[in-house]
Amino acid sequence: MPTPVDTTVQPSTSHCSTLVRGLSLLDSVMLMVGGIIGSGIFLTAGQIANAVHKPLLFFAVWLIGGLISLLACFAFAEMAAMYPEAGGQYVYLREAYGEFPAFLYGWMIFTVGQSGTIAALAVGFAEYFGAILPFASAHKPIISILGWSLTRGEVVSTAAIILLTYINVLGLRRGSALVNVATWAKFAAIAAFVLLGLAVGKGSWSNYTVSLPLAQPASFSHVISGLGVALIAVFWAYDGWVYITWVSGEIKNPQKVLPRALLLGILLVGFIYLSVNFVYLYALPITRVANETTIAQAAAVALFSSNAARWLGATIALSCFGAASSAILCSARVSYAMARDGAFFHAMGRVDPKHRTPAFSLIAISAWSIVLALSGSYDQLYTYVMFMMVLSYVAGVAALFVLRRKRPDVPRPYRCTGYPYLPALYLVMAGAWALNSVVTRPKETLIGIGIVFLGAPFYAFWRWQLKRHPNELREFE
């Protein structure tokens, strides 16, 4: 177990001197794990089963996805210890490639990547909240005017984003405490599902020997192709590990805590995901798993009773709520770091003097998330930009090689495990997946690239504005 870190609140230094370092190792792990475990683990099993057909491959793809994410975490851990500043990956890309590529990354995070994630989590919360409490049914309209309607679900999702934003504006400790409570409650619910499911659930061990029927024997290339398709859903379920780097400027003893949080967090998530999927197959054969879109509820009904579906619905609602809180807290720090560099709206770089949080940045990304949630466009937009999100991780890991050459004298309290072989292995695997996306989904890929590069004229405007007012950044010094 890592050595306990100093629990006193220390002022942050360097680039983010007005923020407060108030997050411990436990807070950091909870923030990371709470942000990763949202709705993906409760919904993706059917897609994966259809892609891989066999129980052994079903488990293997979750293990492979976790190991690939771990390889990225090794690389990011070194850079996080080098640059423990607000913005995380934005800072690594800036130091490795320059301001413009870093800006495009931050632009993607704000406009679609994280705002779309927040919107999706809030809508997911509203869906399951409405299933638990019928009076808040997500699809019941409240107002309908000239073909436009406002549903109860939209009110609930909007209210959830506003509430979470308000709590995070009030202070880092309040936002972190909310995430901690939600994550521990999530752990308890998942543990109960796994342990009770295996102990008293009406499952069958024979399910692990059942495979999906195939029209013809699967070739090696067919198996590899299926694993590649399944990894799309698995990567989505693991996504969010980068969050902890974004709040680097508010972590105590970051040179030690950040690498430990990244590695402990991804290992904990991997263990949870494998355990939950083990129970899914104990409850249902893979032939049924492949036909279920809400696998967690179907498994709960099979293991226990129809009443268990409501209990699982409450767990998923809680999971979405906690993950949305993590996303709001962390993603605001990216736009904050951009503004401090003069590459975004100036107000986003300000810190509330009382609560010591980037209040305007929090409010701005949440407001845009509400717009996406109400428009219903978040899902399609996120699909378009998903390729660019994976590409940003590839660029982030590649930045490790660039910084080893470009910044050899910067202290490295943690050095990437297995360098250069393990990060190179990540680049090969994730790069191959990205190349496959270009070939198989050219339309979505091109639109994603277009959405990201729409930020170019905005970057030019902010840089021009900074030249006109060169003293503007003095406020942040």
Average pLDDT over the chain, rounded to an integer: 87
For the segment 207-248, what is each residue's pLDDT rounded down to a tens digit? 999 887 765 556 667 777 777 778 878 888 898 899 999 999
Answer yes or no: are the C-beta atoms of 118 and 325 closer than 8 Å: no
- Evaluate if residue 96 carries a pLDDT over 80: yes
- Evaluate if residue 192 carries a pLDDT over 80: yes
Q: Which residue has the higher pLDDT, 173 or 376?
A: 173
Which residue shows structure tokens 């997050």?
Answer: 23
How would CATH label the architecture of 16-467? Answer: Up-down Bundle (1.20)
Nearest to 132 by CA among 342, 395, 320: 320
CA geometry: angle at 116 spanning 110 and 121, to 5°?
Answer: 130
Q: d(Cα 60, Cα 227) in Å, to the nearest integer?
A: 9
Average pLDDT estimate for 8-23: 59
How large is the greatest C-alpha to C-alpha distance in the chain, in angstroms? 71
Q: Which amino acid is at 132?
A: I
Q: Is the preceding omega at residue 358 within 30 degrees of 0, hence cis?
A: no
Listed by start position, the domains of the chain span: 16-467
For the segment 416-468, what is each residue's pLDDT rounded down to a tens digit? 999 999 999 999 988 887 777 777 778 888 888 898 999 999 999 998 988 88
Work out the pLDDT band at 13, boundaries 50, 70, 90.
very low
Q: d(Cα 395, Cα 431) in Å, to the nearest integer?
A: 10
Residue percentage of the chain with pLDDT more than 70: 91
Structure tokens at 420: 């250069």
pTM: 0.87
- Evaluate if residue 15 carries a pLDDT over 70: no
- Evaluate if residue 274 carries a pLDDT over 50: yes
Average pLDDT estimate for 245-252: 94
